Amino acid sequence: MITDKLSNASIYYKIGKEYEAALKWLEVTDLASAALGRHEIQGDDIFAIIQEYDAKPLRECTWESHKLYADIQYIISGSELMGYAPVERLVDEIDHTPEKDVINYTDSRNFGVFHNAEKGDFFIFFPHDGHCPCIKANTWIQTGTAKVKKAVIKIKV
């Protein structure tokens, strides 16, 4: 897992040309006004999904991993907690949906590590990185909404 500010994206271009293309797309796209849904970058090899949702309490969120794609998750607006745990620490696989390239788990041993994700932050999750996104930053507060707009870029590995 890698996490940083988009203003530092050029540091990570060296990972590979696909990551450079994805990060540059984030840098040049007007994400605040981008339509929700899928945006082509390089066909099925690199594409973005713009989503908007209310972040949820931790108990309503699910750990996941992917086999075919790496994720770059970028916070356009709002904030959430982002959980990370190596895949080998995730337990009790509950759903493996190959056509959606997602494996869901019930929990992680030692509960993983949680990072506050705010506007301008990005996270890169590789296939060996389990993650638990969409967690309401103040998860102990049960009132109010926590609206988040996020770009998730899928990069075929």
Per-residue pLDDT of 84-104, as tens digits, reads 999 988 887 776 777 888 888
Candidates 79, 22, 86, 27; CA nearest to 54 is: 79
Looking at every residue in the chain, the average pLDDT score rounds to: 91
Burial of 141 (0-12, 13-18, 19+ CB in 10 A): exposed
> Mind listing the domains of the chain with CATH numbers?
2-156 (2.60.120.370)
DSSP assignment letter at 45? T
- Do 61 and 105 meet the contact criterion of CB atoms below 8 Å apart? no
pLDDT at 141: 52
DSSP assignment letter at 69? E
Element (H, E) at 28: helix 17-28
Q: Quick one: average pLDDT of 39-67?
A: 94
Quote the CA–CA distance of 118 and 24 in Å, as a whole number.
Answer: 19
Is 140's pLDDT higher than 70?
A: no
Per-residue pLDDT of 100-118, as tens digits, reads 888 888 776 666 899 999 9
DSSP assignment letter at 34? P
